[in-house]
Amino acid sequence: MSAVRSKICGITRMEDALAAVEAGADAIGFVFYAKSPRAVSVQQARAIIKALPPFVTTVGLFVNASRCELGEILDAVPLDLLQFHGDETAEECEGWHRPYIKALRVKAGDDIAAAVDAYPSASGVLLDTYVEGVPGGTGEAFDWSLIPQGLSKPLILAGGLTPENVAGAVARVKPYAVDVSGGVEASKGIKDHAKIRAFIYAVKGI
């Protein structure tokens, strides 16, 4: 099986980004959603990205952002990949001259395969926990048995992952990548560097 990739999301501080990279993170996520306790400013994100070494994917997370807002952020911040966490259609995710992934919030009864197929231009899909009124970052896991086999896109698993449960999640779900935010935090928006290391080492089986 190929190596599972790790994304550390909700980065707000330079030292947390550098700790994640040092531990072996493949991607760093920035939340451009004002209602999130992990939201970053354009200035914060620019400064952090400027300090990153090569071969680290920078990801911008958006929730139902207006075209104007999204355009302004993309003009100012050199993001590699876009992550859409709201009710965006495939058409709304396209046209930004960058690859994107679409987050889908999973609950019992969903036709996950059909939801994935609705985004044929996506580079991958991120499956997160459905909590009413909360677009993500809930810290709660969903029932992984709901994930069907043979999805048409690379699967990124999120929702309630921690250093303690991620190895089991990888073994069971066999995702392309895993995405964590709250599970490696000391407090919202502030990462615990020991937890980051433990998480990534668990993913890599170190």
Catalytic residues: 9, 128
Residues with Cβ within 8 Å of 99's Cβ and at least 6 positions away in sequence, in order, are 80, 81, 82, 123
For helices 67-76 and 42-51, angle between their N-to-C axes, nearest 10 degrees? 40
Positions of E strands within 47-171: 57-62, 81-84, 100-106, 124-129, 155-157
Task: Tally DSSP H helices, then E strands, for the chain.
Answer: 7, 10
Residues with Cβ within 8 Å of 186's Cβ and at least 6 positions away in sequence, in order, are 192, 195
35 by Cβ neighbours in 10 Å (0-12 / 13-18 / 19+) ranks as exposed
